């Protein structure tokens, strides 16, 4: 597989929906097929380094997503494919980031992937116990419990992670980027 131009695959969805799992599989598949310069920006890791000190107010969440978007824009501009896995709960800031990335990478260079999964299933998958802490009031402003999540209206790829294996979801994403000419065999 040969890289044709930079792009951003932006995973959005609730905590526990499968964003990190899907992004890791897509990352490994791209690398194994010859796209070795692909970078991953995971929301939890970015918060530790790039957005340290930010809280979980709407303003802080938007600032965090804009920072991740700025890095993704730079990578896309320099023909480095990148994968972002971040809850990014608010539609307007995701659309703002889409415009930033498509401004430098061209139309379609922002590929929104909605890891679609109900709160109930995400809660059952939650090994960290975050949903339980949010329900007990221990965690405030937790997306999907006491803070909103705005699903995308028209994502490029929607993966129902409650019905689809991670491998099948990754296939859908790889098929999309191939169909759009971002990578060629």
For 128, residues 6+ apart whose C-beta sits below 8 A from its C-beta are none
Per the residue annotation, which of 88, 109, 162, 179 is the catalytic one? Answer: 88
Q: Which long-range contacts (CB under 8 A, 24 or more apart) does 70-74 make?
A: 70/100, 71/41, 71/46, 72/8, 72/10, 72/41, 72/97, 72/101, 73/8, 73/97, 73/100, 73/101, 73/103, 73/104, 73/105
Q: How far apart are CA 120 and CA 114, in angstroms?
A: 17
Q: How far apart are CA 8 and CA 110, in angstroms?
A: 5
Tell me if residue 88 is catalytic: yes
Neighbouring-strand partners of residue 39: 82
Q: How far apart are CA 9 and CA 157, in angstroms?
A: 10
Dmax of the chain from CA atoms?
A: 51
Q: Return the active site residues.
A: 88
């Amino acid at each position: 597989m040969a890289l044709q131009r930079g792009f951003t695959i932006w995973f959005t969805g609730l905590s526990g929906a499968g964003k990190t799992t899907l992004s890791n599989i897509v990352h490994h598949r791209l690398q194994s097929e010859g796209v070795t310069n692909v970078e991953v920006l995971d929301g939890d890791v970015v918060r530790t380094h790039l957005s340290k000190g930010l809280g979980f107010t709407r303003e802080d969440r938007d600032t965090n997503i804009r920072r991740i978007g700025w890095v993704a824009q730079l990578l896309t501009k320099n023909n480095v494919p990148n994968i972002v896995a971040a809850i990014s709960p608010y539609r307007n800031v995701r659309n703002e980031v889409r415009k930033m990335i498509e401004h430098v990478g061209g139309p379609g260079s922002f590929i929104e992937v909605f890891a679609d999964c109900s709160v109930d299933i995400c809660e059952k998958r939650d090994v960290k116990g975050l949903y339980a802490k949010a329900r007990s009031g221990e965690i405030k402003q937790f997306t999907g419990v006491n803070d909103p999540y705005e699903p995308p209206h028209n994502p490029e790829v929607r993966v129902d992670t409650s019905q689809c294996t991670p491998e099948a979801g990754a296939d859908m994403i790889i098929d999309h980027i191939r169909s759009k000419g971002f990578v060629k065999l």
